[in-house]
Chains A and B, each alone.
Chain A
Amino acid sequence: MAYLELDRVAKQFGAQTVVDDFSLSVGKGEFISFLGPSGCGKTTTLQMIAGFLDPTRGAIRLEGKDLTAIHPAKRGLGIVFQSYALFPHMTAAENVAFGLEMRNVPRNERAERVRAALAMVGLAGFEDRHPRRMSGGQQQRVALARALVIKPSVLLLDEPLSNLDAKLREEMQIELRQIQRTIGTTTILVTHDQNEAMSLSDRIVVMSQGKIEQIGTPQETYERPASAFVSQFLGKTNDFAGTIDRTVAPTQLVAGSWRAPAPAGLGGPVTVSVRPERIGFGDAGLGAKIITRIFQGNHWLFQCESECGPAIVIRQNDGQTQPAEGDAVRLTWRPEDMSVRARAGA
């Protein structure tokens, strides 16, 4: 049973359609990421859930009730903005207390909950600091505490970590995940960082130009990308042009001199996508020549020129001797490590 449900939601600004046909159902306690390049409509979708924008078409439901009919101030959602949007004239504690004040929580209980919320995000002792006197990471934590203290039905995070440096971002990712697991709040995170989306979420919604490309677990979207866009966007990938040969029995999938039994339901020209770390060097397979070999500590990175165009191969550094630059090699992979899509034209 869906907790939060978006049903064919669309948003237009004038003639420009920014979000189109967006359908998603989120389970209670689930951690969902909206992942996509800049300008693909992630923030717009989040703002429609929050109520700052009205959808042009479609419905948004929370526990079966129409959310769009409820004023944003009454939706009871927790939101962390990209800029944090803390109240600069209030201390950390006053910022966190604001939502409770609006709910007329009695003073004693309020103080207790504010203290607990700040402690949860690791800011005990910072109650009387003003935001301008805090670091980016600390401000981010105040914003998170402010959103969580009202016990929101859904927590909406709009690129909350993008202003932090790499190390702090990683720390906050772990912390965010732990906090979310502990209190079990249904969470939607907007990000354009695929690592962030993969390491935090139960499911990822990959978006491009206002449309959903794929919804799936991090593993699914990485290993079974539904489109060329998804496979390109989620990490490095090799796309080889192949064909399905139906003149032989059983039908064969052919890419250069690499061949395997063809998957069902496809014919003619196809694109074969394989992740670089899934390709090995063997005795038979796609013919290639190693152009450069880069040592990167725990792995080797090979750039090759294959029969089907350039290819990248990543091999674990397991102590075995690796081919050298200029060597002729054969690239192989297991059929279950590739995804095959119909290729337009050709």
Chain B
Amino acid sequence: MSAAAEEGSARTPWALTAPALMLFVGVLLIPLAMTVMLSFHDWGQYKGIEPVFILKNWREIATDPYYAEMFWRTFRIAILTTLLTALLGAPEAYILNRMSGRWKSFFLLVILGPLLISVVARTLGWALLFGGNNGLVNKLLMSLGVIRSPIPFMFTETGVVVALAHVMMPFMVLSVWAALQRLDPQIENAAMSLGAGPVTIIRRIIMPQIMPGVLSGAIIVFSLSASAFATPAIIGGRRLKVAATLAYDEFLNTLNWPLGAAVATLLLVALVLIVVGSNALIERRYAEVFR
């Protein structure tokens, strides 16, 4: 009897988590597994998808330099976006944190407000400003005679990086902001009383302490940028494909679902490896300081 009771109590946690677990399996694991399986199926222009197990798609991705270039571009854009958000976002969060009461909440709202607006709308804003001859900024600058031809922005990597950085900025600012909240409010005064000037204080005292915040922000921004769809689709278009837009095209235009699935799977695996790896590195690096 007691054995039965014990068995029952061992089952309780499973029973309690079952609904969430089922949802997790149902909406995430099963589609994921199906996508992975799909990447091994065959596809032909006329025969459609054939549920066989072949490595054709994977071999194509591995050998055709087109895919290598496209993946390299994806990660290059993600890295540049991450660097840009870190370079602008960390000082932004620091300045924000030093503002007093009312201004602080106002500017925090200004920075986080965009999160409430759709990514598509925010990206289209950039297109309106810089899109070819009709872009507002281009028109203005050309009519002022500052530039002859429109600033190359649409369909360029620079354009994608700038627009992505704009979209991702709140995540970086929030992450650094959280790290700044953990700082001792007197820490700058302590450094100052020991004779440190403002530059030394930032470099030697503030930066090392907010670094974990910058790095975790970087991981978020990097993974979101590498898998971003809307912004590269609008700014980069067909001419400048990244992994996400390529997978989309394979699925919906070429209808080569297995190849699209292989691209999506590779992107996912690469991202998981990068994120888990860098996270482990960061945790080890800062283990003794931030427990």
Q: A73-B192, A79-B190, A83-B186 are in contact. Are A130 and B197 (CB under 8 A)?
A: no
Give complex CA distance A130, B289 in Å: 7
Please name all residues of chain A whose beta carbon is closer than 8 Å to the beta carbon of B200 when the two chains form the complex: 102
B187 lies within 8 A of chain A by Cβ:
yes
* B209 contact set on A, CB distance < 8 A: 87-89
Cα-based distance from A186 to B169 in the complex (angstroms)? 50
> Is A41 interfacial (CB-CB < 8 Å)?
no
Q: How far is the CA of A89 from the CA of B185 in the complex (A)?
A: 16
Does B51 count as interface, using CB distance less than 8 angstroms? no
Asked whether, in the complex, the Cβ of B208 is within 8 Å of the Cβ of A85, the reply is no
Would you list which residues of chain B between 185 and 217 have a CB under 8 Å from chain A? 185-187, 189-197, 200, 204-205, 208-209
Partner of A132, one of B190, B194, B204, B289: B289
Chain A residues within 8 Å of B98, by CB: none
B291 at the interface (CB under 8 A from A): yes
Q: How far is the CA of A74 from the CA of B184 in the complex (A)?
A: 22
Report the nearest A residue to B183, measured CB to CB: A88
B288 at the binding interface (Cβ < 8 Å) = yes
Given A85-B187, A88-B290, A133-B288, the answer on whether A78 and B208 have CB atoms closer than 8 Å is no
Give A60 Cβ to nearest chain B Cβ, in Å.
15
What mask results when residues 56 to 80 of chain A are scored 1 for a CB within 8 Å of chain B, else 0? 0000000000000000111111110
Interface size class of B (residues with CB under 8 A): 20 to 34
A229: chain B residues at CB < 8 Å are: none
**From B184, B197, B208, B290, contact of A83 by CB (8 A):** B184
Chain A interface size, under 10 / 10 to 19 / 20 to 34 / 35 or more: 20 to 34
A77 adjacent to B195 (CB under 8 Å): no
Q: Of residues 28 to 86 in A, which have CB atoms within 8 Å of B's CB atoms?
A: 50, 52, 72-79, 81-86
Q: Answer whether residue A146 sits at the interface, using C-beta atoms and an 8 A cutoff.
A: yes
Q: Is A334 an interface residue, CB under 8 A from the partner?
A: no
| Chain A residues touching B, majority SS | loop
Which residues of B are found within 8 Å of A81, using beta-carbon distances? 184, 186, 189-190
The answer to whether B186 touches A73 (Cβ under 8 A) is no
Instruction: Indicate if the CB atoms of A72 and B192 lie closer than 8 Å.
Output: yes
Q: Which of A77, A88, A103 contacts B193 (CB 8 A)?
A: A77
Specify the chain A residue showing the minimal Cβ separation from B196.
Answer: A102
Tell me the nearest residue of chain B to A158, going by C-beta. B186
* A102/B186 in contact, CB under 8 A: no
Given A52-B189, A85-B187, A85-B189, the answer on whether A150 and B290 have CB atoms closer than 8 Å is: no
Q: Is A267 an interface residue (CB 8 A)?
A: no
CB distance from B214 to the nearest CB of A (A): 14
B203 to chain A, nearest CB (A): 12
For the complex with contacts A52-B192, A73-B197, A98-B204, 10 further pairs of A-B residues with Cβ separation under 8 Å are A76-B195, A85-B187, A85-B190, A86-B184, A88-B209, A98-B191, A99-B194, A102-B196, A103-B195, A150-B195
Q: Can you show 5 pairs from A to B with CB atoms below 8 A apart?
A: A73-B195, A79-B190, A83-B184, A87-B191, A87-B205
B residues with CB within 8 A of A: 184-187, 189-197, 200, 204-205, 208-209, 288-291
